[in-house]
Amino acid sequence: MKKLYLSAFSICTILSISAQETLWQKNIKSSTQDFLSQVTTTIDQQYLITGSSIQAGSQKMGAGSTTGQNNGYDFHLVKLNQQGEQIWEKYFSGSNHDYLSATVNTQEGGALLAGTSYSGKGLDKKEDSKG
Q: What percent of the chain has pLDDT over 90?
A: 40
**Which run of H or of E encompasses 102?**
strand 98-105
Q: Would you state the pLDDT for residue 18? A: 56
Total-model pTM: 0.71
Q: For residue range 7-60, list pLDDT tens digits in order.
A: 665 666 665 555 567 878 877 667 788 899 999 999 999 999 999 998 876 544
Q: For residue range 50-65, list pLDDT tens digits in order.
A: 999 988 765 444 443 3
How far apart CA 46 and CA 20 sit, in angstroms, is 20
Q: Which CA distances in Å does 38 have to 1, 48, 80, 111, 123?
A: 13, 8, 13, 12, 24
128 has a pLDDT exceeding 80 = no
Residue ranges of alpha helices (H) inside 16-97 are none
